[in-house]
Amino acid sequence: MPLYLGFDCSTQGLTATLIDAGPSRRGVVGTLVTNFDVMLPHYGTRHGVLPSADPHVVHAPPLMWAEALDVTIARAAREMGVDLGDLRAISGSAQQHGSVYLAAMFGERLGAISSDAALASQLTGVLSRPTAPVWMDTSTTAECGEIEDALGGPRRMAQTTGSRAFERFTAPQIRKFAKESAGAWLATGRVHLVSSWLASLLVGAEAPLDHGDASGTALMTLDPPAWWSEAVRATAPGLERKLPRLAPSWTVAGTLAAYWQRRHGLPTARVVVWSGDNPCSLVGTGAVREGTFTISLGTSDTIFGPMAAPRVSVDGTGHVFASPVGGYMGMTVFQNGSLARERVRDAFGLDWSGFSAALASTPAGNNDGVMLPWFGPEITPPVLNPHPRADGVDPSAAADNVRAIVEGQMMAMALHSRWMGVPRVLHATGGASANTGILQVMADVFDATVRRLPGSNSAALGAALRAMHADHIADGRHTEWEEIVAGFTVPETDVRPVPANVEVYTRLRERYEALERTALGRADRRS
Ligand code: ADP
Ligand code: XUL
């Protein structure tokens, strides 16, 4: 029975999903999660990130991710209930954009890791910056402007890299570090993304960065996928020598290092390059052909789908990435996802079943009440100084506020994903996709059938499926993506739009758009 293991290093935890690809037992063997705050409390994170006095600065400790990998592999070997001797290949998914800064001796140190001591204890001194800025960091507005100016403006950048400069993208983050800490920047020999940092630890050598995750750096040309020397030069001095190699998403980076074999009894499995969580979710939700979009309701909410040709968003809010299945994928990200829904839930002392009951007790359209769901800084549209705004929503009525945030989020998603096309079918995934009430609002606002996929971690499943695909290629076999995902991405529930509600939202979407336009006129933002 060929086994494949997929990881997902997300904002709040590291998930491992093991799949069996044997013809008679094809399916998920098991999934386990190492929650950072709960299981690795000594790093002092909250929701997976470090407390910060400045709300625009959001960092996490890279050694926490390394220790999570060690702890999770040990748990997988003990708790999955199968012999991991049949493991053929491993890959992973990681939160995108986050950057890990390493001293020049990193590669050498990797080669000297001993199985006698825990991994993280042997990585002291390899970091030239103790913490990694992550995708929630919005502190680089100045650097975004500087990079866009140097590269001929946002439109040229978007046409070349798939996105204009966004605060969380790696290039502005690198630039800010190089400007503010010139000495530490000089001492940096390599900048990895979260994905290539963890893949390097698995192979015990510097692993390449895949084209999918590299699309989130603002440093790669989409066609052909290669570092864009103009952008590299505009970002920071000496950066060209510090970037990892680029590789297609199906590249085998090496085999599991001796550490993992000796310490946790794993075999000499292939390690396939890791990718970003959104590219991996595209595979893990089975959205491998144009026409199907996926909405992931996680810490952030994202909408994405495959694209044969790279169409760039006219309003500048979307992204085009190299897709792990070949071709491209379009995507739009909303930072006020689950944490904003939790803010409303907690403000009224509800749990999720109370939240769902409140949603069910109010009519579609909320009697014309509309809310802009900006509880924290927002990526789409860009809002740096948050100020949730409501019109016609009673601030003291729990049910009205619950409906207002869910409707506001779905209308924002429909509005800002129009550039990607109109979805016929939406695949729903992520923690909040468990909530059928939320999916009904999604189906009604988009006027599309919503199919909920089983399991909450499509990124880890996508990574395991990518491991299978790359393993076949390494064996000289060509397997179509439909065949790779078959049996793993079967929807468990269909939620269909209710025609009367669709009509209500056709009108309300116009009100939402007008309210957003007015609010942005006053908001502090970069245009
Ligand atoms: P991540 O992006 O960190 O991988 P997940 O996809 O695991 O996040 O989603 C976690 C989130 O799911 C939690 O923060 C929580 O707000 C949300 N969630 C879990 N159950 C429900 C529910 N029944 N209704 C709405 N949201 C939920
Ligand atoms: C994508 C993005 C987030 C992160 C965290 O651009 O910023 O979706 O990948 O999940």
Three-state SS across 126-148? CECCCCEECCCCCCCHHHHHHHH
The owner of tokens 């990079």 is 147
Which listed ligand is nearest to 317 at the C-alpha?
2
How far does the centroid of ligand 2 lie from the alpha carbon of residue 136, in Å?
Answer: 8
Instruction: Tell which one of 14, 58, 96 to mutate to probe ligand 2, the residue whose CB is within 8 A of the most ligand atoms.
Output: 96
- Secondary element (H or E) of residue 303: strand 301-307
Query: How many angstroms is it from 277 CA to the middle of ligand 2?
Result: 7
Query: Phi/psi of residue 288, each to 5°?
Result: -95, 0
> 158-173 burial by CB neighbour count: b if 16+ within 10 A, else e?
bebbbbbbbbbbbbbb
* Residue 353 Cα: closest atom of ligand 1: 23
Find the 418 Cα to ligand 2 centroid distance in Å: 19
Distance 8 CA to ligand 2 centre (A): 12
Best residue among 10, 95, 274, 339 to mutate for probing ligand 2's pocket (most ligand atoms within 8 Å of CB) is 95
- Contact predicate 405/372, CB 8 Å: no
Q: Do 502 and 41 meet the contact criterion of CB atoms below 8 Å apart?
A: no
Nearest to 166 by CA among 23, 315, 380, 311: 380
Ligand 2 center to 312 CA (angstroms): 18
Q: What is the pLDDT of residue 311?
A: 85
Pocket of ligand 1 from Cβ distances under 6 Å:
10-12, 298-299, 338, 341-342, 352, 430-432, 434-435, 456
pLDDT given at position 524: 41
Distance 134 CA to ligand 2 centre (A): 9
Candidate of 15, 338, 344, 402 to mutate for ligand 1, largest count of ligand atoms within 8 Å of Cβ = 338
Q: Distance between CA atoms of 310 and 308, rounded to whole angstroms?
A: 7
Instruction: Quote the pLDDT of residue 430.
Output: 87
pLDDT value at residue 289: 86
Name the residue at shortest CA distance from atom 16 of ligand 1: 338
Q: How far apart are CA 511 and CA 513, in angstroms?
A: 5
Residue 507: φ, ψ to 5°: -75, -45
Pocket of ligand 2 (CB under 6 A): 10-11, 95-97, 135, 168, 216, 276-278, 300, 302, 333
If one counts every other C-beta atom within 10 angstroms of the C-beta of residue 347, the result is 13
User: Which of 93, 299, 345, 441 has most ligand 1 atoms within 8 Å of its beta carbon, as the pocket-test mutant?
Assistant: 299
191 CB-side CA count, 13 A: 27
Residue nearest ligand 2's atom 7 by CA = 135
d(CA 333, ligand 2 centre) in Å: 7
Please give the pLDDT value at position 94: 98
320, 167, 125, 65 alpha-carbon torsion, rounded to 10°: -60
Give me ligand 1 centre to Cα 431, in Å: 3
**Length of the chain measured in residues:** 527
Which ligand has its closest atom nearest to the C-alpha of 169? Answer: 2
Q: What is the pLDDT along the chain (527 residues), one digit of tens a residue?
A: 899 999 999 999 999 999 999 989 999 999 999 999 999 999 999 999 999 999 999 999 999 999 999 999 999 999 999 999 999 999 999 999 999 999 999 999 999 999 999 999 999 899 999 999 999 999 999 999 999 999 999 999 999 999 999 999 999 999 999 999 999 999 999 999 999 999 999 999 999 999 999 999 999 999 999 999 999 999 999 999 999 999 999 999 999 999 999 999 999 999 999 999 999 999 999 999 888 899 999 888 999 999 988 888 877 889 999 999 999 999 999 999 999 999 999 999 999 999 999 999 999 999 999 999 999 989 899 898 887 889 999 999 999 999 999 999 999 999 999 999 888 899 999 889 999 999 999 999 999 999 999 877 899 999 999 999 999 999 999 999 999 999 999 999 999 999 999 999 999 999 999 999 999 985 444 43
